[in-house]
Structure 1
């Protein structure tokens, strides 16, 4: 591998989160995604139902109803008003252009009372009577999630969503939006052009200036377009491979991304935990984990908000296939402050999979699940509907193909965070 090719691979991993993230931002403000309609910058887009197969977003959850807002702070600060949510779990997660989780408002971070907050652009030095979310880039995504138990609960969630208010302090100020890029027939050339233009518009932290300088040669007009295309293809392949061989530990077959979203070490604002326990200090590992996190679960939370464990295989290491039947036995309820679920996704898109009973996740809030006499819970995962009443009640339908599971634990207990929790294995039954 030549030195320039090695640099290009590192650059692909570095810029991939920025490019993929801003492509999704652009989708939200121009076309919408699934149940979330398009909405202009600095306004909310509300889904009015739980996500399903039509929501084509990587590893989208089926536990909460989404309220999304794409912010452009180039016009100045915004005021955000949130309603009281009673005992309902909710979170508004703030993600900058580089996919850093920079702030949280919600049940864990700020409580469930009504309140007002100020969202300030980079470099802002004003005063506010409200708690401040200090942004690190002009573009910020609010990823809002309201816990929802099903269709009967949707009207209550809708009422809360409608009570979210965003208002610019200067209503007449113009915003910059996303810099345009030239129409380009090649995926590879488009990627590098977006990486260059968008990284200039939304600068990385000053501490990463040496990396920016290292990668600058890739954007020289003297670089051959065929080389750029080849470097892009190589980067895509290497990132796909890295998603299967990341740094996350494995417990009973579950790869637990406890620190997958700890790559933000510079911009930690309201509701985050500014502690070395939640920071990846090795730069090489940090940037690799950021790319992997973006590929597997864009806009995922820090572990202290929600833990994501994934399984591509059963406990023996054999791939999960729809032609088989699997069992997951929970001897006791997982230690969470909010709730937990297991969701099934296809491969390699990581989208929810259509099924005959319209069930895409299963967990402690699933209507009709049946516990054993000793309080344990046994889940069945298969393509074919189980024959017994209990197994059918606790059934998560699988496709006739390979699939991936994600085990979510919202507001995880300390045994999960200190890695002493015993994850229930995915066991092959037949």
Structure 2
């Protein structure tokens, strides 16, 4: 019989397993959802094909903090049948990025304006352990850490009138198996008889075996042997003993609490009123796989491997498939310069003395709360940035953005108007390909100032 002390210890181990395995379980679940249900305007799409959005996001796209700057093209790849040839079109200098993510949510390669330029080219994507010879015609080889991966593509789009250009590029983005006759295995099936209360651990057990992580992480997984997570064959969770169910459910609850706390930090109370919250290093948990377009340096790695597991889980919970900070940095705020909550009942100014230091582009997007959806407005303007036509700049090069619910009466202010909802709101600034001053914190975004 298991003693109370042993049960407590095992529950703590189950919580550790939840934190460790959450990114894998969530990532694979999203892959499955994409293939069978799609995401918003992205249609359901089988393995080894791209699904394309056909428009920029609008308020009817009810997704948390969806961006209004780029149009998505997403593919889920099953490399168990062998390498796949990716063709990328020439974007003629326009920003795009193809982000490669393994099932543990590690960003392991990038193609695009920052990483490889905007010219046309072919790239070979190969499965773990591949030792073949790449065709002479490819620009490079992308080594996948897991047999199933995601490609998350984003094409900059300057508005509805720019969509024909983006659609033409999307049609030229293709995936072709090097050997179309080879068999693919896809996602491994779960035992349908596992009860819902312990299903997370069954998913973790099956998918952990199917998609082994890097060697040091495999060593870490050995700790979870007492929970049944390393067992092969029939599931140990079909008819679990009551003590095991208690251990796993307690661990699940505690693990969830840890991930929620890490993904929604309360701060230390030292942030100045109105300061923008940002974390360029949220995705620095990848410690083992650095392919084309990544930066393999201590600056972009979490020093403590075990600490990286909680960071990885928090990133998956808050921003699955987000980019490294050197590709894009995101900042948001809930308060003005006086520390008061932002609300459409007031009028505000956001003044940039100089444009934010980026090598691609930047934007400010308006979201309501608590859902963080885009805000419907008569101007059909959901974001504003350096690509917005008709902005009025000061003689000194400054740019003042006017944030309020009603359209300003002054024509110059109306040109720079970012519509707010009637109630509270949360704007987000996106900095695409930020410069070093953003990454090291020497550049500070200006505060939003109430003007009434």
| TM-score (structure 1 length as normaliser) | 0.91
Mapped contact 2:348–2:450 kept (Cα < 8 A)? yes
Q: Match for residue 192 of structure 1?
A: 201
RMSD: 2.7
Q: Name which of 124, 147, 160 aligns with 1:138.
A: 147
Deviates most, 164-173 or 227-236: 227-236
Partner residue of 2:233? none
- SS of the aligned residue for 1:191 comes to helix
Q: Which residue of 1 aligns with 2:297?
A: 275
Residue among 375, 382, 387 paired with 1:365: 387
1:362 positional shift:
1.7
Equivalent residues in 2 for 1:93-132 (5 A)? 93-128=99-134, 129=136, 130=138, 131-132=140-141
Q: Corresponding residue for 1:63?
A: 69
In the alignment, is the contact (CA less than 8 A) between 2:100 and 2:150 conserved in 1? Answer: yes
Gaps of 5+ in 2: 229-235
Q: Indicate which of 336, 343, 347 corresponds to 2:358.
A: 336
Give the counterpart of 1:299 among 314, 317, 321: 321
Measure the CA separation in 1 of the matches of 2:267 and 2:132.
41
Deviations 1:317-371 (A, max 9, x none): 4444444444321111011111001223445554434444333322111233322
* Distance change >3 Å, CA 55–CA 123, structure 1 → 2: farther
Alignment equivalent of 1:265, drawn from 261, 283, 287: 287
Is structure 2 residue 247 aligned with structure 1 residue 241?
no
The SS at the match of 2:73 is: strand
Give the Cα separation in 2 of the matches to 1:285 and 1:384: 46
Residue 179 of structure 2 is aligned to residue 170 of structure 1: yes
Structure-2 residue corresponding to 1:424: 446
8 Å CA contact 1:246–1:292 kept in 2: the answer is no
**Aligned residue among 95, 98, 105 for 1:92:** 98
The Cα of 1:419 is off from its aligned counterpart by: 2.0
Summarize the Cα distance change of 1:285–1:350 in structure 2 as closer, same or farther, 3 Å threshold. Answer: farther
Partner of residue 256 from structure 1, selected from 262, 278, 282:
278
Residue 82 of structure 2: aligned partner? 76
Aligned length: 430
SS at 1:245 equivalent: coil
Q: Do the aligned partners of 2:41 and 2:54 also contact (CA within 8 Å) in 1?
A: yes
Closer, same or farther in 2 for the Cα pair 1:428/1:114, shift >3 Å? same
Query: Are the equivalent residues in 2 in contact too, given 1:263–1:287 (CA < 8 A)?
Result: yes
Q: Name the CA distance, whole Å, in 2 between partners of 1:334 and 1:29.
A: 38
- TM-score, L = length of structure 2: 0.87
